[in-house]
């Protein structure tokens, strides 16, 4: 069960949350191992190396090899967690994840950091608008987009108990708080954060906060919006979508990702397959590469800040 936070102030940095959670799990389970692709300082995973040096491996800038080693560790009974920036954790190593991980029946837990506009000054080569689309293509994979530190910690702990290929994306830095500490969730189940009668807003990850803000601003002018945090994009909560779309005049998906292959596509598939005749608008990035800039600048540049999201809904247009 989850409880909404009484504050929207930024919480613990997500990288610190991941590290603290993994250290806690590794204290309890000597079969957990952590691998990082030469980003120990950026990810904070040097803290894991200091606490559990025998179960931490810095693989260097060799991400494909990192996936192969993780698969090998899985074969010998270990539960590996790997980290690098989102595009290098997915796009650069997709064949290894698909074959050595999915096809090989191995367990690989992946934290892809700084997705979308969170990439900041690392720029276009480090930008991932396509990681969710790629990871959805691996049979039996689980794909999550963490909204805040509470949800991120729960996802990491839950992944540690499962077999298979699992991917969670999230900023390295602090993000607005959505949930109270102690909240629990269910993989494959979305969370209704705000009831509403007219528009159904389905968001994931860091943009859950902006979506709640947009819903509040619409409420002030008499437009009732329901907000769902669809933190598990695969498997997506079909039952919830089918139920909550009833009576709505429009569905809007909001994601820090390409509108192709991500949350918007997953929702579109559900609506099409069930014959739902409710119009759908996908808000995300459309046919663009990444660029250099601060996260705040990039969020506005791609139309993913609250003001731009609201404008796109009002005007019926999708920027990006």
For residue range 76-107, list pLDDT tens digits in order.
999 999 999 999 999 999 999 999 999 999 99
Task: Report the distance separating Cα 230 and Cα 235, nearest Å.
Answer: 10
Residue of 13, 24, 63, 186 marked active site: 63
Q: Where are the alpha helices (DSSP H) in the chain?
A: 14-28, 40-43, 46-51, 63-75, 86-89, 94-96, 131-136, 149-159, 207-220, 238-244, 263-273, 295-301, 306-315
The predicted model scores a pTM of: 0.96
Region 122-141: what's the mean pLDDT?
97
- Dihedral over Cα of 167, 172, 176, 177: its sign: positive
Residue 55 has pLDDT above 70, yes or no: yes
Task: Report the distance separating Cα 270 and Cα 301, nearest Å.
Answer: 30
Q: Which residues contact 72 (CB under 8 A, 6 or more apart)?
A: none
Tens digit of pLDDT for each residue in 34-51?
999 999 999 999 999 999
Q: Is 244 an annotated catalytic residue?
A: no
The confidence score (pLDDT) of residue 33 equals 98
Residue 319 has pLDDT above 70, yes or no: no
Are 258 and 133 within 8 A, CB to CB?
Answer: yes
Which of 309, 225, 238, 232 has its CA nearest to residue 267?
A: 238
């Amino acid at each position: 069960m989850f409880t909404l936070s009484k504050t929207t102030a930024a919480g613990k940095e997500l990288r610190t949350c991941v590290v603290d959670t993994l250290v806690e799990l590794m204290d309890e389970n000597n079969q957990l191992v952590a691998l990082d692709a030469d980003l120990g300082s950026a990810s904070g995973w040097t803290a894991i190396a200091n606490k559990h040096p025998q179960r931490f491996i810095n693989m260097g800038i060799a991400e494909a090899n990192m996936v192969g080693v993780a698969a090998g560790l899985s074969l010998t009974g270990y539960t590996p967690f790997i980290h690098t920036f989102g595009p290098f954790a997915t796009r650069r190593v997709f064949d290894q994840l698909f074959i050595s991980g999915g096809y090989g029946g191995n367990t690989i837990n992946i934290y892809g950091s700084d997705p979308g506009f969170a990439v900041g000054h690392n720029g276009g080569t480090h930008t991932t608008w396509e990681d969710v689309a790629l990871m959805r293509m691996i049979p039996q994979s689980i794909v999550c987009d963490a909204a805040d530190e509470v949800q991120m910690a729960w996802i990491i702990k839950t992944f540690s108990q499962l077999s298979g290929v699992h991917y969670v994306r999230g900023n390295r830095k602090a993000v607005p708080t959505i949930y109270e500490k102690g909240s629990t969730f269910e993989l494959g189940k979305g969370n209704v954060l705000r009831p509403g009668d007219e528009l159904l807003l389905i968001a994931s990850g860091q943009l859950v906060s902006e979506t709640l803000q947009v819903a509040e601003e619409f409420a002030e002018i008499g437009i009732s919006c329901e907000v769902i945090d669809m933190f598990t994009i695969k498997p997506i909560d079909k039952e919830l979508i089918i139920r909550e779309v009833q009576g709505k005049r429009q569905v809007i998906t909001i994601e820090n990702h390409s509108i192709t292959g991500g949350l918007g596509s997953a929702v579109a598939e559900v609506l099409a397959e069930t014959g739902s005749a409710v119009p759908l608008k996908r808000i995300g990035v459309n046919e663009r590469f990444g660029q250099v800039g601060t996260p705040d600048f990039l969020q506005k540049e791609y139309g993913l800040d609250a003001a731009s999201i609201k404008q796109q809904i009002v005007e019926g247009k999708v920027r990006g």
